[in-house]
Amino acid sequence: MGHDTQPTTWKNPAVDPAPPPEDSVALPQDEVDQLQQARVSHAVIDQATGIVMALGRIPPDQAGSVLQEVSQHTHLTLRCLAEALTAWAHTGEIDLTIRLTLEQALHRQTPHSRGDQVRASRG
Protein backbone atom coordinates (compact mmCIF):
# COMPACT_ATOMS: atom_id res chain seq x y z
CA MET A 1 0.00 0.00 0.00
CA GLY A 2 2.41 2.77 -0.89
CA HIS A 3 3.38 3.98 2.61
CA ASP A 4 6.28 6.33 2.87
CA THR A 5 8.86 4.66 4.99
CA GLN A 6 10.84 7.46 6.48
CA PRO A 7 12.81 6.66 9.60
CA THR A 8 11.41 8.04 12.82
CA THR A 9 13.90 10.13 14.72
CA TRP A 10 13.63 10.83 18.41
CA LYS A 11 14.14 14.47 19.38
CA ASN A 12 15.58 15.45 22.71
CA PRO A 13 13.44 18.43 23.91
CA ALA A 14 16.43 19.95 25.68
CA VAL A 15 18.46 19.97 22.47
CA ASP A 16 15.70 20.22 19.87
CA PRO A 17 12.95 22.30 21.46
CA ALA A 18 9.55 22.23 19.87
CA PRO A 19 8.63 25.26 17.83
CA PRO A 20 6.45 27.79 19.66
CA PRO A 21 2.72 27.22 19.34
CA GLU A 22 1.09 29.06 16.45
CA ASP A 23 -0.96 31.20 18.83
CA SER A 24 2.10 32.42 20.80
CA VAL A 25 3.24 36.00 20.40
CA ALA A 26 6.88 36.93 20.20
CA LEU A 27 7.77 39.93 22.35
CA PRO A 28 9.51 42.87 20.73
CA GLN A 29 13.17 43.11 21.68
CA ASP A 30 12.66 46.28 23.72
CA GLU A 31 10.09 44.50 25.90
CA VAL A 32 12.45 41.55 26.33
CA ASP A 33 15.19 43.98 27.36
CA GLN A 34 12.87 45.70 29.85
CA LEU A 35 11.87 42.37 31.39
CA GLN A 36 15.51 41.37 31.70
CA GLN A 37 16.36 44.72 33.31
CA ALA A 38 13.48 44.34 35.77
CA ARG A 39 14.70 40.86 36.73
CA VAL A 40 18.21 42.16 37.38
CA SER A 41 16.87 45.16 39.35
CA HIS A 42 14.75 42.87 41.50
CA ALA A 43 17.74 40.64 42.26
CA VAL A 44 19.95 43.59 43.28
CA ILE A 45 17.20 45.03 45.50
CA ASP A 46 16.73 41.61 47.13
CA GLN A 47 20.47 41.45 47.84
CA ALA A 48 20.43 44.94 49.35
CA THR A 49 17.44 43.97 51.49
CA GLY A 50 19.48 41.08 52.84
CA ILE A 51 22.41 43.38 53.60
CA VAL A 52 20.15 45.77 55.52
CA MET A 53 18.54 42.84 57.35
CA ALA A 54 21.96 41.64 58.47
CA LEU A 55 23.21 45.11 59.44
CA GLY A 56 20.15 46.02 61.46
CA ARG A 57 19.12 42.52 62.52
CA ILE A 58 15.65 43.33 61.29
CA PRO A 59 13.02 41.40 59.31
CA PRO A 60 12.58 41.83 55.55
CA ASP A 61 9.63 44.22 55.73
CA GLN A 62 11.56 46.62 57.96
CA ALA A 63 14.63 46.32 55.74
CA GLY A 64 12.46 47.26 52.76
CA SER A 65 11.21 50.31 54.65
CA VAL A 66 14.79 51.31 55.47
CA LEU A 67 15.78 51.03 51.82
CA GLN A 68 12.85 53.17 50.74
CA GLU A 69 13.63 55.79 53.38
CA VAL A 70 17.31 55.96 52.44
CA SER A 71 16.39 56.11 48.76
CA GLN A 72 14.11 59.09 49.37
CA HIS A 73 16.54 60.96 51.63
CA THR A 74 19.51 60.49 49.30
CA HIS A 75 17.48 61.15 46.13
CA LEU A 76 18.65 57.87 44.64
CA THR A 77 16.48 55.37 42.88
CA LEU A 78 15.99 52.18 44.82
CA ARG A 79 18.03 50.32 42.21
CA CYS A 80 20.98 52.78 42.45
CA LEU A 81 20.93 52.55 46.23
CA ALA A 82 20.80 48.76 46.06
CA GLU A 83 23.77 48.72 43.68
CA ALA A 84 25.74 50.96 46.06
CA LEU A 85 24.97 48.69 49.02
CA THR A 86 25.90 45.50 47.18
CA ALA A 87 29.14 47.14 46.00
CA TRP A 88 29.81 48.11 49.63
CA ALA A 89 29.50 44.47 50.62
CA HIS A 90 32.23 43.60 48.12
CA THR A 91 34.57 46.57 48.38
CA GLY A 92 34.00 47.98 51.85
CA GLU A 93 33.54 51.44 50.33
CA ILE A 94 30.33 53.47 50.28
CA ASP A 95 29.36 57.10 49.87
CA LEU A 96 29.38 58.90 53.23
CA THR A 97 25.88 60.35 52.71
CA ILE A 98 24.44 56.90 52.01
CA ARG A 99 26.19 55.40 55.02
CA LEU A 100 25.04 58.11 57.43
CA THR A 101 21.49 58.08 56.08
CA LEU A 102 21.41 54.29 56.40
CA GLU A 103 22.64 54.47 59.99
CA GLN A 104 19.94 57.01 60.85
CA ALA A 105 17.20 54.97 59.17
CA LEU A 106 18.29 51.81 60.96
CA HIS A 107 18.36 53.68 64.24
CA ARG A 108 14.76 54.81 63.68
CA GLN A 109 13.65 51.28 62.81
CA THR A 110 15.28 49.78 65.87
CA PRO A 111 14.97 52.03 68.91
CA HIS A 112 17.71 50.20 70.79
CA SER A 113 20.51 51.84 68.81
CA ARG A 114 21.06 49.36 66.00
CA GLY A 115 22.91 52.11 64.13
CA ASP A 116 25.92 51.32 66.32
CA GLN A 117 26.08 47.93 64.63
CA VAL A 118 26.45 49.57 61.22
CA ARG A 119 29.35 51.65 62.51
CA ALA A 120 30.93 48.57 64.03
CA SER A 121 30.51 46.55 60.81
CA ARG A 122 32.34 49.07 58.67
CA GLY A 123 35.37 48.55 60.88
Q: Dump the DSSP string for 18-81.
A: PPPPTT--PPPHHHHHHHHHHHHHHHHHHHHHHHHHHHHT--HHHHHHHHHHHHHHHT--HHHH
User: What integer pLDDT is reported at residue 115 of this predicted model?
Assistant: 46
Per domain, the residue ranges of the chain are 30-121
pTM of this structure: 0.64
The 10s digit of each residue's pLDDT in 1-59 is 555 555 555 555 555 666 666 666 677 887 777 777 767 778 999 999 999 999 999 99
Q: What percent of the chain has pLDDT over 90?
A: 54
Mean pLDDT, rounded, of the chain: 81
Return the minimum-mean-pLDDT range out of 19-33, 60-74, 87-101: 19-33
